[in-house]
Amino acid sequence: MSAQPLEEIAELLLAAAKRNGATAADVVVAEGDSLDVGVRLGTVEKLKQARQKHLGLRAFVGERSAVTSSADFSRAALEKLAADTCALARIIAPDPFSGLPNPADITTATPDLDLYDPEVAGLTPERAIALATEAEHAAMAADARITNSEGAEAAASTDQVVYASSVGFRGTYRNSGVSLSAVPIASENGSMQRDYWYSAQRKLARLESPDAVGRKAAERVLRRLNARRVATCEVPVIFDPDMASGLMRHIAAAVSGYSLYKGTSFLIGKLGQRIAPQFMTVVDDGTIIGALGSKPFDGEGLATRRTVVIDQGVLTNYLFDTYSARKLQSHSTGNASRSVGSAPYVASTNFILQAGTTSPQEIIRSVKSGLYVTELIGFGVNPVTGDYSRGAVGQWIENGELAYPVEEITIAGNLLAMYDDIEIIGNDLDMRHSVIAPTIKIARMTVAGD
């Protein structure tokens, strides 16, 4: 830990900003430790350890503002940073929408959301190496066709975050995160495939076992062997939960206040309209105990909360921070995210497509001929129009069964039409990311191949 508590450094910086002419300011200070080990073919390949600290200052001079960051916590450096920030702010155009939240809106409570696990802080390099070794071994031992490996990795990090602002907010909390992944390579008939599985949690005890991580990675890579292409066609497409979460990420980006006022969202003007089937509900909830996207207050000191974004198919809420809300005559939804080096922006917390009642097996059985997508690559999503075209890997479905692996194909459509065309939502919701969805079936998309 630093010689000086992070809270005191935040106070010093706020005071320095005021001395240098700031009319308002906020500060974020973060300090943390990280450990990252990699094992490949049974031996340790890398061992990385670090302790890092950062601070960020946003200073307002009237309606002008600037954001700076540094890792130098010395008194002299803090004074210089404050002076630099105020000088930078003075050259910027005034923006009448800028500013800190209304003091009445900031929260005074810092609920304990169970975000920190001392066991993660105590994870030794030896234990991390053992976890990674075991995960890789489980993958390699699963099948003789698994001939190589990109390795397995175990990583742990803990940090403390302090946020303080000149409207009176003071808050701090601790985070922990731990993950385990394996990337086996399988080969058959002269061609190779690679796939992975990972588990990420805030608590060590909740991490999937190394054996489970390795075995799932093996299953995923084996089923890709001898993949083929298919002819260009229009068919139903099923997204597995990880790929379906990508479709939720596009919604999260499109309901951000920033995308809306900049005109870069395909959901502009859709508030209050039906954009998805009646059985589809999507919520953003930053208050879920122990969840990866939870936090006790947002990046501007407002309470995090539960916001229903799509309620039974109807787009009911956009997500805002203070600035984007003022731009659009609305109210912050407590979705300000503040990294040390940049001004607040809108980010989802835990963004969740509510589970349906159908099992993934039944969803697959509902398809006579179609595609089950397990990986998407490339950047073919246009946030302005919703046009969607990405490289896909998966399994071809014939008569309700996974028949053979496919690759080097694309799937294309438009996100608005795709959400509208959701036919079934699965019951297999798993909290392994901060953006999650169960299996989804879309009635029809263009698959391009031969």
Q: Which two tokens stand for residue 133?
A: 């070794």
Q: Which is nearer to other proteins, 51 or 331 (CB)?
A: 51
Angle formed at CA 47 by CA 44 and CA 53, multiple of 5 degrees: 165
Alpha-carbon distance 283 to 353, whole Å?
7
Minimum Å distance from CB 410 to other proteins?
Answer: 2
Q: Is 273 in the site for other proteins (CB under 8 A)?
A: no
Taking the complex as a whole, the smallest distance from the CB of residue 27 to other proteins amounts, in Å, to: 15
Residues in the chain: 450
Minimum distance, C-beta of residue 93 to other proteins, in the bound complex (Å): 4
272: Cβ contacts below 8 Å, ≥ 6 apart? 314, 315, 316
Q: Which is nearer to other proteins, 15 or 185 (CB)?
A: 185
CA distances from 183 to 2, 123, 227, 369, 378 (A): 37, 22, 18, 30, 20
> Measured between alpha carbons, how far is residue 187 from residues 145, 146, 226, 250, 392 in Å?
6, 6, 9, 34, 20
Kindly indicate which of the ranges 103-111, 274-282, 308-316, 376-384 contains the residues binding other proteins, using the contact rule CB under 8 A. Answer: 376-384
Residue with tokens 């089937």: 277
Please pick, from the candidates 11, 119, 387, 420, the single residue that binds other proteins as defined by CB under 8 A. 387
Q: For residue 436, how many other CB atoms are within 10 A of its CB? A: 22
Out of 67, 123, 406, 425, the only residue in the binding site for other proteins (CB under 8 A) is 67
State the Cα–Cα distance between residues 88 and 61, nearest whole angstrom.
Answer: 10
Query: Rule CB under 8 A: is residue 133 a binding residue for other proteins?
Result: no
Q: Is 85 in the site for other proteins (CB under 8 A)?
A: yes
Residues 382 and 264: their CA atoms lie apart, in Å, by 9
Q: Binding to other proteins by residue 145, rule CB under 8 A? A: no
Window 200 to 229, contacts with other proteins (CB under 8 A): 227, 229
Q: How many residues bind other proteins (CB under 8 A)?
A: 76
Q: Which stretch binds other proteins (CB under 8 A): 52-60, 157-165, 349-357, 394-402?
A: 52-60
The answer to whether 363 touches 370, Cβ cutoff 8 Å, is no
Site for other proteins contains 174 (CB under 8 A)? no
Residue with tokens 């309606």: 63
Rounded CA-CA distance 227/407 in Å is 6
Mutual angle of helices 210-222 and 125-140, in 10-degree steps: 40
Q: Which residue from 15, 83, 88, 130 is in contact with other proteins, where contact means CB under 8 A?
A: 88
The region of 134-142, 256-264, 289-297, 355-363 touching other proteins under the rule CB under 8 A is 256-264
21 sits near other proteins (criterion: CB under 8 A): no
Q: Which of 29, 28, 46 is nearest to 37 (CA)?
A: 46
Task: Rule CB under 8 A: choose which of 1, 4, 52, 368 binds other proteins.
Answer: 52
Using CB under 8 A, pick the residue from 1, 8, 42, 43 that binds other proteins: 43
- Choice between 95 and 362, CB closer to other proteins: 95
CA distances from 74 to 28, 68, 130, 384, 433 (A): 16, 15, 39, 45, 37
Site for other proteins in 93-122 (CB under 8 A): 93, 95, 98
Which one of 22-30, 70-78, 171-179, 212-220 is the stretch in contact with other proteins (CB under 8 A)?
Answer: 70-78
Q: With CB under 8 A as the contact rule, which of the stretches 12-20, 212-220, 314-322, 401-409 interacts with other proteins?
A: 401-409
Residue type, 265: S
Does 411 contact other proteins by CB under 8 A? yes
**1 binding other proteins? (CB under 8 A):** no
> Under the criterion CB under 8 A, does residue 369 sit at the interface with other proteins?
no
d(CA 96, CA 203): 43
Shortest Å distance, C-beta 187 to other proteins: 9
Per CB under 8 A, 278 contacts other proteins = no
Nearer to other proteins, 135 or 230 (CB): 230
